[in-house]
Amino acid sequence: MQQLLGRTGRDLVVEETRAEITQTRQRLIQNKNVDVTLDALAQRIEARVASALAMSLQPVFNLTGTTLHTNLGRAPLAEEAIEAMSAVARGATNLEFDLDKGRRGDRDDHVEDWLCRLTGAEAATVVNNNAAAVLLMLNTLANRREVPVSRGELIEIGGAFRIPEIMRRAGCRLVEVGTTNRTHLKDFTEALSPKTGTLMKVHTSNYVVQGFTAEVSDEDLSALAHQHDIPYIVDLGAGSLIDMAALGLPHETTVTETLAKGADLVSFSGDKLLGGPQAGLIAGRADLVAKIKKNPMKRALRVDKVTMAALAATLRLYAQPETLQAKLPTLRLLTRPVAEIQAMAERLRPALQAAMGDAAQVEISPCTGQIGSGSLPVESLDSVALSIRPNTHGKGGRSKSGGKGRGTGGALKRLATAFRGLPIPVLGRISDDSLHFDLRCLEDEAAWLGQLTDLRVQ
């Protein structure tokens, strides 16, 4: 106890001691079995203090098959980005200080040139995420004005990002145009009024409208907007900076292409296909970017020095296309050859089977994963999984609903819980009576193997 007080603050120990005593008293009142020796109490208090101090935000193994998993923090960062972050984290930096001129600078200066080079834009700015970028573009260009958007593009992205909602919060009046499956240029022409602030296209990231469909091209929308002296803006979502098809991945419209087709501003995420930190990037016309920078909301949505450093370092990797795929984890993982994943599965299977004993059967199975973050939703990535199928030894049948049952469902839940309880929690996917670990995103094999001895299946 004395040692504990020495290691941690007095207040924390006192607080946890009180909580433990309260709980112990309650258990005694309820006639529950509880060890009240001093040693046992001290041990429980120590455990409480340790748990209060443990970091809740921690690394995990993402073996879900979704490479850019929003709930798991999206893009893994490049070593270069991590180094840049720690280089600026500890002390003062020239975040908003121009070292040449010796006076106040703009934090966007650290990435704007590179964003322009990589997209062909005249100017660019950075905010907290793409949702913030969309909010800021709309509020700057169309506050108290109308914004026509195709009914086929009124999207909801995971969480609370819904275009109609964002529009309202940005102070804009959404004018719905066309139908869910077909929208034509004349629909937009008819929707235009003196109150129109901007035309907008939203990339339908996480779904596709298939079949009898029609949408208006970027070229036609930008031409129409420019005839009426209003801007044309695009929420591109994933916003790739390079041609994914050249890497053997499905084609995704690039920022450069969208600007070349006449968009005045394009917004996209930093932590989707770009492979950088969470950020929202806006690239396009210099006069419009200048307006955005003057909007007081920009101040509320800006990014800090650590994000700026990571983004600046990530963008520089794009300057060397020859090494980009090897250095940028997002691209490295997305383009990982299936044969390589298969070989890893073969290396890891025996150890996993040994850890399972006769509780489960471990098999290597082909599987399909996803890019994630709404990118290219219909395209899947061929991959290989280690699949664990619990042996139920005839104890009751299958329980589809899972729960506490003794069937496969219950056993699968206990398995998944055990893997989540490891020092570096391992997250997989349950389907077809098995727990699958898609190995596409496993790079540190040794760390993964090393902790299998800690596995405790209840």
Distance CA 61, CA 72 (A): 9
Binder among 277, 369, 374, 407 for ligand PLP (CB under 6 A): 374
Number of residues interacting with ligand PLP: please give it, by CB under 6 A: 16
The two tokens of residue 52 are 């209060």
| Stretch of residues binding ligand PLP (CB under 6 A), selected from 58-66, 81-89, 130-138, 396-404 | 130-138
Told to check if 138 binds ligand PLP by CB under 6 A, we report: no
Told to check if 280 binds ligand PLP by CB under 6 A, we report: yes
Told to check if 292 binds ligand PLP by CB under 6 A, we report: no
With respect to ligand PLP, which residue has the nearer C-beta, 127 or 411?
127
| Stretch of residues binding ligand PLP (CB under 6 A), selected from 128-136, 339-347, 350-358, 379-387 | 128-136
- Site map (CB under 6 A) of ligand PLP, residues 321-360, x = contact: ----------------------------------------
Q: HEC profile for 136-183?
A: HHHHHHHCCCEEEEEHHHCCEECCCEEHHHHHHHCCCEEEEECCCCEC
Minimum distance from residue 179 beta carbon to ligand PLP (Å): 20
**Residue 242 and residue 318 in contact, taking contact as beta carbons nearer than 8 Å:** yes
Minimum distance from residue 415 beta carbon to ligand PLP (Å): 31
With respect to ligand PLP, which residue has the nearer C-beta, 97 or 161?
161
Told to check if 161 binds ligand PLP by CB under 6 A, we report: yes
Told to check if 157 binds ligand PLP by CB under 6 A, we report: yes
Told to check if 67 binds ligand PLP by CB under 6 A, we report: no
| Stretch of residues binding ligand PLP (CB under 6 A), selected from 113-121, 231-239, 344-352, 395-403 | 231-239
Told to check if 152 binds ligand PLP by CB under 6 A, we report: no
Binder among 62, 66, 119, 130 for ligand PLP (CB under 6 A): 130
Residues 182-221 contacting ligand PLP, CB under 6 A: 202-203, 205
With respect to ligand PLP, which residue has the nearer C-beta, 27 or 162?
162
With respect to ligand PLP, which residue has the nearer C-beta, 256 or 434?
256
Minimum distance from residue 376 beta carbon to ligand PLP (Å): 11
| Stretch of residues binding ligand PLP (CB under 6 A), selected from 35-43, 125-133, 285-293, 304-312 | 125-133
Minimum distance from residue 205 beta carbon to ligand PLP (Å): 3
List of residues contacting ligand PLP (CB under 6 A): 129-131, 134, 157, 161, 202-203, 205, 235, 237-238, 269, 280, 373-374
